Amino acid sequence: MSGVLGVAVLGAGHMGADHIRRLDRVVSGARVLGVADPDAGRAEDAVAGIDGASAHTDVAGALDAPGVAAVLIASPGPAHEEALLACLARGLPVLCEKPMVPDSAGALRVVEAEARLGRRLAQIGFMRRYDAGYRQLKSLLDDGRMGRPLMLHCTHRNVASPPGFTSAMLINSSVSHEIDAARWLLGQELTAVTVLRPRSSADAPEGLLDPQFVVFETAEGALVDVEVFVNCGFGYQVRCEAVCEAGSARIGDEHAMRVTARGAEGREVPRDYLVRFADAYDREVQSWVDATRQGRVTGPSAWDGYAASVVAEAGVRALESGARMAVDLAPRPRLYAGPGH
């Protein structure tokens, strides 16, 4: 594929609008040609000022817009399966925000549809794989100089949860990033999950189990723990520490400006993920555009999206039952490499 990549963006909400801005103003080699959103006014606003871009209220209209050669899906998770299958049916390369499909049965249908094609078209938006700190940690672990990884300690905090956020969403929405990051960093599948529930914060909405402490077991005997706290009040904070046989390494402490004034020193805390991971999103989308123009798919696969859905479902069952839950993955098609690739 040569020339500028024509992209249709599905979803013009918070995430979609940011990706439309990114494709229009930041990323090279691509242009937005169509936007679909059920809210016609929001779709029109999203394409305002972008020459040649059309607004649609239906997915098919955007996919079939003249010049569209690739698709970025940023609509709500329940709409992803239908959109992904439509892209695969048209042979369109697609970058789909996580969750690929919220339920594992639907995610497996996407995997099977792509496997039948015999070639990868879908990349899933686990943007932490493109964050500078995570990439540095991945390189260190792959190098092996600190011995085998034994544990990952992870922290995931948000200022406040949005309206309608449920206890299950702490796992299948927030912790889904740690699920993929752990699989990628360690190169291992997650095999079991346990969720511990400390008393809820006074700032959590009534009925929301927040924070939670999630423990994953891996295929090679490592442990991964995640403190997820979505109403911490002070900012958006993501950290990860790898503890290995001969050393440890931690990322996420210094991703902010340090200020000294009036006899005190402090560090800014980002307010949301679009600020904390802005560079990662830019790098992710640019990498996707570059690979797509070369006829390649290089990022997280549909199998990674499926695995994340299965692990998250096991996590929700563990949350609800208080018991350790095993993770049961379907056989992996030959099309897909392992979790560390």
Whether residue 68 contacts residue 34, with contact meaning beta carbons closer than 8 Å, is answered with yes
Q: Tens digits of per-residue pLDDT, 251-304? A: 998 655 566 667 776 666 666 677 888 999 999 999 999 999 999 999 999 999
Q: Are residues 263 and 295 in the same domain?
A: no
> Scanning the structure block, which residue is given the tokens 């990033």?
177
Q: What is the CATH number of the domain that holds 245?
A: 3.30.360.10
Q: Are residues 106 and 174 in the same domain?
A: no
Is residue 34 domain-resident?
yes
Q: Are residues 66 and 214 in the same domain?
A: no
Residue 149 lies in domain: 131-272+306-326
Q: Are residues 84 and 99 in the same domain?
A: yes
DSSP 32-43: EEEEE-SSHHHH
Q: Are residues 16 and 47 in the same domain?
A: yes
Is residue 335 domain-resident?
no
Is residue 67 domain-resident?
yes
Q: Are residues 166 and 312 in the same domain?
A: yes
Q: Are residues 263 and 141 in the same domain?
A: yes
Q: What is the mean pLDDT of the chain?
A: 94
Is residue 140 domain-resident?
yes
Amino acid, res. 221: G
The yes-or-no verdict on residue 79 having pLDDT over 60 is yes
Tell me, what's the pLDDT at 337? 83
Q: What is the CATH number of the domain that holds 23?
A: 3.40.50.720
Rg of the chain over Cα atoms, rounded to whole angstroms, equals: 20
Q: Tens digits of per-residue pLDDT, 136-164? A: 999 999 999 999 999 999 999 999 999 99
Whether residue 222 contacts residue 141, with contact meaning beta carbons closer than 8 Å, is answered with no
The yes-or-no verdict on residue 2 having pLDDT over 60 is no
Q: Are residues 267 and 322 in the same domain?
A: yes
Q: Are residues 110 and 198 in the same domain?
A: no
Tell me, what's the pLDDT at 258? 61
Q: Are residues 195 and 246 in the same domain?
A: yes
Is residue 336 domain-resident?
no
Q: Are residues 296 and 322 in the same domain?
A: no
Instruction: Report the domain count for the chain.
Output: 2
Is residue 47 domain-resident?
yes
Q: Are residues 225 and 205 in the same domain?
A: yes
Task: Pinpoint the alpha helices (H) of 176-277.
Answer: 176-186, 273-276
Q: Tens digits of per-residue pLDDT, 300-317? A: 999 999 999 999 999 999
Is residue 86 domain-resident?
yes
Amino acid, res. 79: A
Tell me, what's the pLDDT at 272? 66
Q: Are strands 258-261 and 264-267 parallel, antiparallel or unpaired?
A: antiparallel
Confidence of residue 88 (pLDDT cuts 50, 70, 90): very high
Q: Tens digits of per-residue pLDDT, 203-216? A: 999 999 999 999 99
Is residue 339 domain-resident?
no
